[in-house]
Amino acid sequence: MSEGTIVIASDHAGPSLKDSLKAELERRGFTVLDLGTHGDASVDYPDYGRAVGEAVASGEADRGVVVCGTGIGISIAANRIAGIRAAVCHDVTSARLARQHNDANVLALGVRMIGSEVALDCLDAFVTTEFDGGERHQRRIEKLG
pLDDT of 25 higher than 60: yes
Tally of domains in the chain: 1
Q: Which residues are catalytic?
A: 68, 101
Per-residue pLDDT tens digits for 75-94 = 999 999 999 999 999 999 99
Domain that holds residue 69: 5-144
* The pLDDT of residue 2: 44
Domain CATH code at residue 25: 3.40.1400.10
Contacts of 138 (CB under 8 A, 6+ apart): none
Entry pTM: 0.96
Q: Is the dihedral of CA 64, 69, 74, 75 positive or negative?
A: positive
Could you tell me if 107 and 64 are in contact, meaning their C-beta atoms sit under 8 angstroms apart?
A: yes
